[in-house]
Structures are given as C-alpha cells and as structure tokens.
Structure 1
Amino acid sequence: MTMEERPPGDPDWDKKLQDENQVKGRYGELLAAFAFPPHWVVRPIPDDYGLDLELEVFYEVSARAKNGVRRYQTRGEHLYLQVKTTDNLETLELPRGDSSDLPVATFQMSTTDLKLVDRMGASVPVVLLLVDRSKNEIYYVCLTDYVSHYLDGEKTKWREQKSVKIYVPRRNQLTTSGKENELEEHWNYFSRLARRSKLFSAFNLIHHYKEELRNAFPQSGFDGPEPSEKYFEAAIAFIGRFSSYVEEIRRQDVWPVPEDRDWKILHTATSDLDDIYQWCQDMDHRLATRSQTDEGLRTELAELFDRKADWELRRLGTIDLLGRDYQALGRMERLPRTDPFLDFAT
C-alpha cells in the first residue's frame, strides 16, 4: 500500500487526530496552571522529557503601586512541575509506624521519571501535581524530597523496578474547603520550595565563611603583661573580615522581613546576624581608638575582643547549622512520613 492509498474501513486516515491520553494530559496541565495565585507565572515546557511546567513566584510590591494598580516583582525563584492526570484516583490509609494512619492518594509512576528527578539534585525542586479529573482536584508532593527522604529510606530497591507507587498526602490538596488561609498555606510552601536553590547557596556561603574566620582568628599576641601592637593589628583585620563576611551573608535574598510567615528559625538567624554585625562595628571602633585608651585598659580590651570574638564565631556556627536543620526537617515537610511542621503543630 502506498502513502496515498486509503486503509480499508478507516474513513479518518487522512485527518489530524488526538487520542484520549493527550486530552487528559492537556486538561491536567491547564487545571494546574490556574491552581496558583494569578500573579505567579506558569510556563509550559514545549519539549516534554519528564517536566511539564515551570513555575516562577512573584511577590506584591505595594510600595510601587502605580495609579492604584498592584505590581508584582520576581526574585528569580523557580521550580518545575510534573503533571499526572487520572480519572480514577485511588486512595488509602497509609500506616506510619507510631503515628496515626495518613489518608493518601496513590499513583503508579515510571521509574525513569523518578530517576530524572534524582539526577537533577536537591537544589532544583520538582513537584508532582496529581490531577483527579473526575472531581477537579489537585494533590501535590515534592518528588525531589520524596525520592531522597522517603523512597531511599523506605524502598531501597525502587531503582530496579519499572514503576513505583507514589503516595501523595491528601492534605496536600490545592483546593479549598473554606478554612481560613488554607490556600495561602499551600502557596507559602511552594514559595519556600522555589527559594531552595538560594537557601542552599546561602547555607554554603555561611559554612565557608565560618571556616575561613576560624582559621583567621588571631593567635594570642600577649608579650609579657601587655598585648602587642601586632596583636591589635591582627584583631582589626579579623574584625574587618568578619564584618565583610556577615554583610555579604545578610545580603543574600533568603532572610525574611518581620511580617513574613516563613520558616521561624530564619527569623532568629536574621536577628543573630544583625547582632553580630553590630558587634563588629562596635569592636572595630574600640580597637581603632585604642590609642585613646588608658594603658591599663589595653589588656582588658584585648581580653574582651578575644572572648567576644570567640562568642560571636560560635553564634555564626549556630547559624551554620541551618543547612543541617533544613536537610533534616525542612525537606520532610508535606511528605507521607511524619511531617515535623504539621503533625507537631501546636
């Protein structure tokens, strides 16, 4: 049969057609695109190799409103969405050890899709949006965290399978039951996810500078009863370095303003960084004006610097633990395991 010949009994052989799977997939992507705040930007990814949509978070800038029209600003925060649509959403109660059973929706997912997410690394979040077409409901789970904090812990041989059953907590539903601030809590979670690459960058910077400062800490410069001038010069250089590092850390676009409803520990870290910076300024002034200090107080000044610099370094070390806490707690949020932010909320 040549290309021009009509197949027997097929009246539509020369027409452009789409099948039900394409209709279902497009429906899910359209519904997903409208599930987020209208000022967020959801972009389709034309060449689909496992990622369907890109989400960019925008923030309202009320101070820049013009003629009463609201304006929104991007901070360069993105994540990817993988949309799966079904007409027959399966649900069950998932046992969680000593915790209460968790209502979940289930979906059989290709292992190749999960391996792609795994290869992308922890700093680029990929979120599964599970669309129930029969009820117009959308459920979500961060596949990036699901792979490393659930699959690798619960199902260590999942990579050898063709597909894996995914459990999506039903409380992760991007629709509202009328509960106050319900949708806002979901959107806050997506906003935190989109900020992840910036958080990882900030955590890495804090750790690097903490180690640099520990290595640069002035060794005791006491020659006899009085601290040497060389010691004071080293102390001034150290304070300048400390101040510069803390200032750069404070400039990272991850620290919340007081009214932000964000990871609470970030507010504490912000306050600590402000305190460290202020101490650097005060100590720098004291050291720079040491020639005006009574000779008998120079030793006290050196001892004060030595003691307080060590204390502020320890405080920076506590902030450095943010990266560890984020891995242990932040990446457990909204997973089917016990959620440290929801299950223990008071």
Structure 2
Amino acid sequence: MSSTKKRTHQHLIDQDGQFLFREKLPKPWVVREYRPDYGLDYSVEVFKTTEAGPSGRSTHETLGEHFFVQLKSIEDPDIRPLTIYGRGNVEKGSERLKRDDPVATVDTYRFPLEVSLLATVERMGIGIPVLLVIADLKNQRCCFVCLNDYVDKVLVPRHEDYTDAGHRTVHVLASNEIGSAKGLVALRWYAKRAKLLAAFQRFTYQYSELQWAEDADWKELAQYFGKRIASYDFWDDTEMCEPIRYNGAGLKRFLQDGRPHYFKPNQEAFAKLSLEQQEYMLKADVFELWRLLALLPKTYEDVWREWFLPTALGHVASEL
C-alpha cells in the first residue's frame, strides 16, 4: 500500500505553540487566524473588561484596538545573554554603539527571520504593530518583540542595507513575557498605536492652526479643537504613559473653566496686571496645552517606540 500524508513533529510543535499563545492572552481578547499566511499568522483584538453589574457578570467591550502576530513555536529555545550598549538617537544618524558604556546584560531568544518577512513588515509602516511571538514550549511561556520597531530602531540604523542577507537574527527579550503584568501593559500599548498616531496628527494640525488664528478667534477655535479631541478614549486608559494622561487632565481643566492651569500665577499679582497682560497670560496657558500635545508624536518617535526593544533606551525606559 502506498504511503499517505504524514503529520510531522514540527506540526505538533506548531500546534502546541498555538494553544500556548492563546492560553497566555486575556480570555476576552479575540484571536483571528490569517489565511493564507504571508507573514501574519493572527490578528488580535483587545477588549476592556468592566466590573460585574446587577447581573453579577462582567462585560467585555471592544476598544477598536488591534495588533498582528507572527508566531514561532520552539521546542528547545536558544536563550543567551546579550550585552546592550549606550548609543545616540538612531533617528538622527546610524547606530554607533558606545562599547565602553555597557548598560545591561539581558537574556534574549535568538531567532533568524527571513528578510522577506522583515521587508514586508517595513513596507506596512508602523500604524498597526506586528509582533514576533516566540512560543517557548520548554519553559511554557510566550515572549514578543515589535518587528516594525525592531526594523526601524535596530536593523536599519545597524546595517547599511539590512536586506542584503537572506536572514537577520532578531533578539527577543525573555522579560517580554505575555501573561505577565509587564507583558499585558506592552500589548495594550501596542494595540493603541493606530488611534494614538491618528490623534497625534490632529494635535499637530490644531497647534499649527492656532498659531495662525487671529487674536479675536483663538478662544473659539481652541474650544472647538478641545471638544473634538476630548472624546478620545485613551486619555484615561494610558496609565503606562504619564504624559498622555497629564495632558488629558489639562485638556479637561481647559474645557471646564477655560484654562488648563499649566501656568499658575500669584492671584494677587495677577489681579494687578492690565487686562491686556491678563489676556496674554491666558493665551499663553492655553497655547502651552497644544504645544505639549504637539510634542507627543516627537516623544513617541524618539523614545516610546524603543520600549520593550533590546536597546539601551528600550531597557531603561521599559524598566521604569
């Protein structure tokens, strides 16, 4: 009798890795499989759980937040220490490691990825993160790294042309564990990326338009702008990023009483100012709110996109 189709040992490893990955995610989150697979195995939709109501049952509400996953299942992982060194801002120049400035030694998974996959992720842009997830069957854990950020912040500044090889080794921090408190924060942060980038675009637009507003119009325009952005649902759901929450509180104060109260002058001294001087200080206070909002995308690119990466800045910022 002729032989039949066979199920390989790797198929069993992949199956176990899929089960482990789904098990580590919060139960209310939805995992959707991508078929056919051209580098994306799953999309994950994030849900927010609210406390039990009169029925005694919790409810789970979608946040409209998503990320993609490329899953790699490993039976016997290669975990080794990696020394990370200080370096400059790679958005302003190629990587120059400060070999005399070791920042930390961390454990990482070493995984070779096809450059075709990395180039596909780069071509997607950064709007929706693609996470490489290592399903470590030996240690029963899943660890991740954001490939969009790894390409931009590690491979591109490190190599003259990272695509001139068939594969590139990607380091995945063992501390980036799905199911841990740190891992949950990271996944929630990545899932918010699309809505944050859209909001950042609006902040910079509004700040620019306020600069051009005539003196008689800026108050009305600022009120309108404030109402447009007050409805974003991330103001009170980004405890991992204090500057966003800080400016959300300033926005709330502005809409309540016309001032964000970043500048707090002595009331007695303020009363002695002329009306023109008081108006100037009020305008400066309001404009400071939009200046800070417009700074968020810069900080996002310079700092926050390195969170959870095996880089010096990523290590320091992610451990705070």
Q: Is the 8 A contact 2:126 2:148 kept in 1?
A: yes
Aligned amino acid, residue 200 of structure 1: L
Superposition deviation, residue 343 in structure 1: 5.8
Structure 1 residue runs of 4 or more that deviate by more than 4 Å after TM superposition: 339-346
Partner of 2:258: 280
State how far apart, in whole Å, the 2-side matches of 1:340 and 1:264 are.
Answer: 17
- Among 12, 15, 30, the alignment partner of 1:23 is 12
State how far apart, in whole Å, the 1-side matches of 2:155 and 2:34 are.
Answer: 27
Secondary structure of 1:42's partner? strand
- Among 204, 207, 212, the alignment partner of 1:207 is 204
* Runs (5+) with no aligned partner, structure 1: 1-9, 176-182, 219-234, 283-296
State how far apart, in whole Å, the 1-side matches of 2:159 and 2:184 are.
Answer: 30
Q: Is the 8 A contact 1:168 1:336 kept in 2?
A: yes
Aligned amino acid, residue 15 of structure 2: R
Secondary structure of 1:252's partner? coil
State how far apart, in whole Å, the 1-side matches of 2:280 and 2:308 are.
Answer: 44
Secondary structure of 2:312's partner? coil
Q: Is the 8 A contact 1:85 1:132 kept in 2?
A: yes
Q: Give CA deviations for 1:74-131 in whole Å, capped at 9, x if unaligned.
A: 0100000100112231122212122122211101111111111111111110001112
State how far apart, in whole Å, the 1-side matches of 2:307 and 2:195 are.
Answer: 18
% identical aligned pairs: 23
2:73 is the counterpart of 1:81: no
Count, aligned residues: 293
Secondary structure of 1:34's partner? helix
Task: Give me the TM-score of the superposition, normalised by structure 1.
Answer: 0.78
2:223 is the counterpart of 1:243: yes
Partner of 2:2: 11
Secondary structure of 2:135's partner? strand
Secondary structure of 2:177's partner? coil
The 5-angstrom pairing of residues 215-294 of structure 1 reads 215-218=212-215, 235=216, 237-256=217-236, 261-280=239-258
Partner of 2:290: 316
State how far apart, in whole Å, the 2-side matches of 1:341 and 1:25 are.
Answer: 30
Q: Give CA deviations for 1:188-210 in whole Å, capped at 9, x if unaligned.
A: 11011000000001111010011
Partner of 1:167: 171
With 308-317 and 243-252 compared, the bigger mean Cα shift is at 308-317
Partner of 1:224: none
State how far apart, in whole Å, the 2-side matches of 1:126 and 1:210 are.
Answer: 31
Of structures 1 and 2, the one with the larger relative CO (CA 8 A, separation 6+) is: 2
The 5-angstrom pairing of residues 91-102 of structure 1 reads 91-97=79-85, 98=101, 99-102=103-106
Superposition deviation, residue 215 in structure 1: 0.6
Aligned amino acid, residue 71 of structure 1: T
2:10 is the counterpart of 1:49: no
Superposition deviation, residue 266 in structure 1: 1.4
Superposition deviation, residue 157 in structure 1: 2.3
State how far apart, in whole Å, the 1-side matches of 2:318 and 2:304 are.
Answer: 14
Superposition deviation, residue 149 in structure 1: 1.0
Q: Is the 8 A contact 1:51 1:81 kept in 2?
A: yes
State how far apart, in whole Å, the 1-side matches of 2:318 and 2:135 are.
Answer: 28
* Runs (5+) with no aligned partner, structure 2: 86-100, 261-270
Aligned amino acid, residue 191 of structure 1: R
State how far apart, in whole Å, the 1-side matches of 2:319 and 2:138 are.
Answer: 32
Superposition deviation, residue 342 in structure 1: 4.7
Q: Is the 8 A contact 1:243 1:281 kept in 2?
A: no
State how far apart, in whole Å, the 2-side matches of 1:24 and 1:345 are.
Answer: 32
With 27-36 and 239-248 compared, the bigger mean Cα shift is at 27-36
State how far apart, in whole Å, the 2-side matches of 1:60 and 1:281 are.
Answer: 34
Superposition deviation, residue 25 in structure 1: 2.5
2:72 is the counterpart of 1:68: no
